[in-house]
Chains A and B, each alone.
Chain A
Amino acid sequence: MSDNILEMKNITKTFPGVKALDNVNFSVKRGEIHCLVGENGAGKSTLMKVLSGVYGFGTYSGDIVYDNEVVRFKNIADSEQKGIAIIYQELALIPELSVYENIFFGHEIMKGKTIDWNETIVRADEMLKKVRLNVDPSMKVKNLGVGNQQLVEIAKALSKNVKLLILDEPTASLNEDDSKNLLELIKELKKQGVTCIMISHKLKEVKAIADTITVLRDGATICSLDGTEKEISEAEIIKNMVGREIDNIYPARINHKISDKIVFEIKDWTVEDPLKGREILHNVNMKIREGEIVGLQGLMGAGRTELALSIFGNTPHYNITSGELVMEGRTLNIRSPREAINEGIAYVSEDRKGNGLILIQDIKYNNTIANLKELTDGIVINANEEIKVSNFYKDSINIKAPSIEQKVGNLSGGNQQKVQLAKWMFVHPKLLILDEPTRGIDVGAKFEIYTLMNRLVEEGMSIIMISSELPEVLGMSDRLYVMSEGTITGELEALEATEEKVMALAIKH
């Protein structure tokens, strides 16, 4: 018996016009934690979809040897049968069903012709204990936090007697605590004999947890690094991922002076959620100077996105009970995103697929949709001018695509994010709110976005950056606010801020 549970040999997968995987070789030892890293579009997810049968046998070339036999999965059910389970970044749970219903969804425990609900609940409870999730199994999944939902997904995989667990960016939307918890659990599962493949962009995690790291780039295997014997440095991983060295992850702003002029001010901002009828923001006060990057830190649910959206005039969802917004000394009265845009505020959504971009439209369309007024003569949109504008942004911020007529849904995460930025740069805002601007994008694209942020503030724009990644906030901000449970718990200058100080404020009540 070989000590490799999985060997994928010479896997090639092509989509119309692109070779997503080019002769990839990938082997995983039995009982190890194997991290798969690479820039977006490097082919990580595609490789895992080939493995799990999403792209069935016949749509790729090459061999998959699993548990010492050549396997030909036609669909996910085939691979599940063999003990392979995949957990996607976007969770596949049904919010309106209970935890136990979700865990056994698709492989219900039967007694004769009907479902044995009692046995289901008992077994679900066992699974929950295994993942150390202490919740009532009859709770609806929608009432759980993202971190706990993730655990339910793993419980679901365990209930299928999983031997090889694949996690696609499991910590992307988790806060520090939940992430830690999850990584501990993965180690625990390893002890129980579950092999785990994890895709991640967070190199710190990867370093901490991986026995082996495989780097993919442009659809090819670059190297497999053994992490058990000697420590692998982040720089080494990055070098292999991008094919060049990046000296400083956070580019410095040289010769940049922040003026004393206060551009934007939030005063005593109190907001109620009209559906739940409870206050979600209490007396928030913030000041942003011209040319400044202000970080906004806080744990998941601290109210950061809510603050951004309520400023941005997303009024049906937020009931502003008191407070004032002041832009350059003038009190604003914003009742819709349109009015916010007209006042010079732009909001780049954290959820670029859900409510940032229109994926079935092309780059050009998305680039201009928020400011068509500028392109309109009378009532007709000037198509030539639009092409010029979009090409300008494509070149200026390096959106990688064959042309501006490329559909946004087909771009990689980093390029989608750049399209979002292009769209909001084109409205020429004074205040740019970036909500998790680098979530789920690769190191190379991250660096480009940081550089772009520097360029924008040097041109006099002011930026509020919301981010869950502490190093990023500390690395990029001039000043930062920390939020907890809807209030600002502290304000720190960049020079005095440390991870410890920020965390202390983030958990303060």
Chain B
Amino acid sequence: MTEINEVSEKKTQNILSEIGQLVVKNIRDYMMYIVLVGIIIFFTVTTDGSFISAGNISNLFNQAAYVAVLAIGMTVILILRQIDLSVGYVAGFSGAVCAILLTNYGWPVWIVIPLVILIGVFIGFYQGMLVTGVGVPAFVTTLAGMFIFRGLLGVATSKTGTIIIKNKAYLALNNGFIPDFKNDTGYHLVTIFIGIVAVVCVLVTQIQNRKSKEKYNFNVVSMPIFVVGMILVSCVIMLIITVLAKDQGIPWSAVIVAVVLLCYNFILNKTRLGRYVYGIGGNDQAAELSGVNVKKVTLIAFMAMSGLAALAGILYSSRLASATPTAGNAFEMDAIASSYIGGVAVSGGVGKVTNTIIGTLVIMSLTNGMNLMGVDTFMQYIVKGIIFILAVAFDVTTRRKNR
């Protein structure tokens, strides 16, 4: 009897020490989640629960969508040790072009959206060529871009001021929800279905991943921790899904962000292009001498970034149902902060778009929560700035220790 006790005691001790090691090793990632949970709890308490109401969660997703899209693109730019300051006003300008084409010219949505994204890609081509071809540093190129597109946005909206958009399909992008079957269960069935599919996908890929790691004798976390982790992740997904399903379902904006995220995650982790991005960020000379076309990869990243900026502009103008002369102001700040809070290394070469999304949620939860509390906008900037600098300082110190 005592023997069995001893054995099980030993086992728990082993697991505890493993958890300890995991925490030490991944403190950076865990910290991000802890901060996010802390923020959520804080606002839930201070707003008497309205922060985690279904309505506010969809609202948070809708608010965060344009920042998330920008932050995903920015992550790649920052991994490459570049920067793009122009994204805010490229977004603002793109929104204005959409509004003009839809409202003043009456063009159909399915032409306007691809066209505007294409214009964005072209803007990225112009800026990327300046950086890679001419050799102007990205900071200068995109600072100039900031001037230019702020000006163009002003010119585009100078006659009319704010341009109202009334196209229903366009407005649904960042205000609407995915459709559902007619039913009287009180739940949004398609949402629940998507939630289940998501959980199954996560479980299958994680289990496959673990199996292939075991096959090659790589380190994997012990079974109990793995199982608990999987249960935790599944619960979180299903919790959010249930809350949303009780209300109006998944907002379109979340779908759009998810698609962009999956594409970027796939490219960064599974393709040569993604490998090259990390290689260039880690050591561009070594990458060049390994046969990587550094200029081409950098140019592609800038084109994708501005394309996403255009998409962000579309989402933002859809949400406001209008294009305003001030749209785009300080978007780049939220995007860059999201990436860094999400763990992109300040020295480049390291970063994950999946973590950037968490960074975006941190930043936008702060915005959303403080709005609910009625905190003044300028105070909000101060709070966000403090959280941002703390995150990066923490990142820099933990990275140094791990070396």
By a CB distance below 8 angstroms, the chain A residues around B287 are 358, 369
A349-387 interface with B by 8 A CB criterion: 349, 354-361, 365, 369-370, 372-373, 376, 379-381, 383-384, 387
- Nearest-CB residue, chain B, relative to A340: B291
- State the interface size on chain A (CB cutoff 8 A): 35
CB closest chain-B residue, reference A349: B289
- Chain A residues lying within 8 Å of B371, measured Cβ to Cβ, are none
Please state if B293 and A361 are interface contacts (CB–CB under 8 Å): no
**Closest CB of chain B to A311's CB: distance in Å?**
12
Does A189 belong to the interface (CB within 8 Å)? no
Contacts A356-B289, A358-B287 known; A381 to B275 CB distance under 8 Å?
yes
With both chains docked as a complex, state the minimum distance between the C-beta of A61 and any C-beta of chain B, in angstroms. 19
Could you tell me the distance in whole angstroms from the C-beta of B311 to the nearest C-beta in chain A?
Answer: 22
Interface pair A369/B275, CB less than 8 Å apart: yes
A403 contacts chain B at the CB level, 8 A cutoff: yes
Give the distance to chain A from B201, nearest Cβ to Cβ, in Å: 17
Known: A358-B282, A359-B283, A380-B271. A347 touches B212 (CB 8 A): no
Q: Is the CB of B290 within 8 A of A423?
A: yes
Is A89 located at the chain interface by the 8 A CB criterion?
A: no
Q: Knowing A369-B275, A384-B212 are in contact, say whether A359-B291 is a contact too (CB < 8 A).
A: no
**Quick check: A391 and B216 within 8 Å, CB to CB?**
yes
**Residues 284-310 of chain B: 1 if any A CB is under 8 Å from the residue's CB, otherwise 0?**
011111111100000000000000000
Out of A338, A379, A387, which one reaches B293, CB within 8 Å? Answer: A338
A405 interfacial by beta-carbon distance below 8 Å = yes
Query: 1/0 contact trace for A1-30 toward B, CB 8 Å?
Result: 000000000000000100000000000000
Give which listed residue, B218, B279, B286, contacts A356 with CB less than 8 A: B286
Contacts of B212 in A (CB 8 A): 383-384
Q: Is the CB of A403 within 8 A of B279?
A: no
CB neighbors of A among B207-244 (8 A): 212, 216-219
Q: Let me know if A338 and B291 touch, CB within 8 A.
A: yes
B291 to A, closest residue via Cβ? A338
B163-178 vs A, Cβ < 8 Å mask (1 yes, 0 no): 0000000000000000
Q: Are A381 and B283 in contact (CB under 8 A)?
A: no
B270 and A381 contacting across the interface, CB-CB below 8 Å:
yes
Provide the residues of chain A in CB contact with B270, threshold 8 Å. Answer: 379-381
Interface size on B, residues (CB 8 A): 26
The CA-CA distance from A349 to B285 in the complex, in Å, is 11
A387–B286 Cα distance when bound, in Å, is 21
Whether B282 lies near A359 (C-beta < 8 A) is yes
Among residues of B, the one whose C-beta sits closest to the C-beta of A312 is: B289
Q: Complex formed: what's the CA distance from A423 to B279 in Å?
A: 14
- Cα–Cα, bound, A347→B289 (Å): 8
Q: Considering the complex, give the chain A residue whose CB is closest to the CB of B399.
A: A360
Question: Across the two chains, which residue of chain B brings its CB closest to A391?
Answer: B216
* CB-CB contacts below 8 Å: A372-424 with B: 372-373, 376, 379-381, 383-384, 387, 391, 403, 405, 409, 423
Give chain B nearest CB distance to A330 CB in angstroms: 20
Taking a contact as CB atoms under 8 Å apart, the answer to whether A357 and B275 are in contact is no
Given known contacts A358-B283, A359-B282, A361-B282, is B290 in contact with A381 (CB within 8 Å)? no
A341 at the interface (CB under 8 A from B): yes
| Nearest residue, chain B, Cβ from A380 | B270
The interface residues of chain A lying within 8 Å CB-to-CB of B288 are: 314, 337, 355
Cβ contact of A369, chosen from B219, B279, B349, cutoff 8 A: B279
List chain A residues, Cβ under 8 A from B289.
312, 314, 337, 347, 349, 355-356
Say yes or no: B293 contacts A355, CB within 8 Å.
no
Nearest CB of B to A357, in Å:
6
Q: Contacts A337-B288, A337-B289, A403-B218 given; indicate if A372 touches B272 (C-beta within 8 A).
A: yes
A379 to B272, CA, bound (A): 8
CB distance from A427 to the nearest CB of B (A): 8
Q: Which of A347, A358, A384, A409 contacts B279 (CB 8 A)?
A: A358
Inter-chain contacts of B271 with A (CB < 8 A): 376, 379-381
Indicate whether B350 reaches chain A with its CB closer than 8 angstroms. yes
Could you tell me the distance between the alpha carbons of A409 and B282 in the complex, rounded to whole angstroms?
Answer: 11
Contacts of B290 in A (CB 8 A): 337, 369-370, 423
Interface presence of B278 (CB below 8 A) = yes
Q: Does A489 contact B (CB under 8 A)?
A: no
**Chain B contacts of A391 at CB under 8 A?**
216
Q: Which residues of B contact A372 (CB under 8 A)?
A: 272, 275
Which single residue of chain B is at the shortest CB-CB distance from A387? B216
In the complex, the chain A residue whose C-beta lies closest to that of B209 is A383
Would you list 29 pairs from A and B whose C-beta atoms are within 8 A, ordered by A residue? A337-B288, A337-B289, A338-B292, A340-B291, A349-B286, A349-B289, A354-B283, A355-B283, A355-B285, A355-B286, A356-B286, A357-B283, A357-B286, A361-B282, A361-B349, A365-B275, A365-B278, A369-B287, A369-B290, A369-B292, A370-B291, A372-B275, A376-B272, A379-B271, A381-B272, A384-B212, A403-B218, A403-B219, A409-B403
Residue numbers of B with Cβ under 8 A of A are 212, 216-219, 270-272, 275, 278-279, 282-283, 285-293, 349-350, 402-403
A-B residue pairs, 4 tightest by C-beta: A355-B285, A358-B282, A338-B291, A370-B290
